[in-house]
Every structure is written in structure tokens, then in C-alpha cells.
């Protein structure tokens, strides 16, 4: 009998390779550009070059593709938490994070 993995996602995720800029990790500046693997309405999975603690607070900016009207990428700031961090075979880390609050870049 095969061991079944319990699905922990609260919303469906969509494979999207989008630019992500990690501003801070656990209250410290990170200033790291990376890319997402997938995104949902309340979570994201992206890659990092170094490990962070599960549960660490994160602040990051996600760049969405340009729309037909503005023709510029839409950047959204998020606050969240790292819920799962896994070391990958290429010495990078996969981070599953929540997206708890958001605001558009430049929003007052």
C-alpha cells in the first residue's frame, strides 16, 4: 500500500515563473531577487540561495505580468511567513510562504 501525502494547500496553486524580490527575512534586510515556482490566492513558492527558518516573517514584492492597458508590470508588496523550507539538490532552498497582507507598490 502506498503512503499518501496529506494536501496542506488551502487554495489551488498555478505554475507561474514570476519575478520576486525578497525585501526582508525575520526582520532583517535580504534584498534578494528570485523567481516563483507557483502562486495561489494566499501563498507562493519561490527559491532562495540561503536557508531561512520556518515561521520567519517575510516581506516580498511580486511582479505580475503587464496588463493590456498600462503595459507595465504590476508590483505587489506582501507580508507573510515561511511555512515550509526545503533544501534542494542544487544547493538552493525552496520556500513555501503565506501571503497575509498586500498593497500595490506606490500605494499610499
> C-alpha grid cell for residue 88?
534542494
Chunked in runs of 10, what are the mean pLDDT values of the chain (108 residues)?
A: 55 90 94 96 94 96 84 89 95 95 73
14-104 CATH choice from 3.90.1150.10, 1.20.81.30, 2.40.50.140, 2.40.10.220: 2.40.10.220
Burial of residue 83 (number of CB atoms within 10 Å: 0-12, 13-18, 19+):
middle
pLDDT at 8: 60
Each domain of the chain, given as residue ranges in start order, spans: 14-104
Q: Residue 70: its pLDDT value, please?
A: 73
pTM over 0.85: no
**71 contacts: CB under 8 Å, gap ≥ 6:** none
pLDDT of residue 13: 86
Question: What count of Cα atoms within 13 Å lies in the side-chain half-sphere of residue 41?
Answer: 3
Q: What is the pLDDT of residue 85?
A: 96
Environment class of 23 (CB within 10 Å of its CB; exposed 0-12, middle 13-18, buried 19+):
middle
Instruction: Assess contact for 25 and 60: CB atoms under 8 A.
Output: no
Amino acid at each position: 500500500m502506498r503512503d499518501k501525502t496529506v494536501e496542506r494547500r488551502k487554495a489551488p496553486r498555478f505554475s507561474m515563473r514570476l519575478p520576486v524580490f525578497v525585501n526582508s527575512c525575520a526582520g532583517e534586510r535580504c534584498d534578494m531577487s528570485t523567481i516563483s515556482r507557483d502562486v495561489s490566492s494566499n501563498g507562493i513558492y519561490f527559491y532562495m540561495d540561503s536557508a531561512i527558518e520556518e515561521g520567519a516573517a517575510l516581506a516580498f514584492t511580486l511582479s505580475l505580468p503587464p496588463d493590456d492597458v498600462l503595459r507595465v508590470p504590476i508590483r505587489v508588496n506582501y507580508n507573510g511567513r515561511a511555512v515550509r523550507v526545503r533544501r534542494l539538490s542544487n544547493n538552493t532552498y525552496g520556500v513555501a510562504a503565506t501571503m497575509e497582507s498586500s498593497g500595490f507598490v506606490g500605494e499610499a
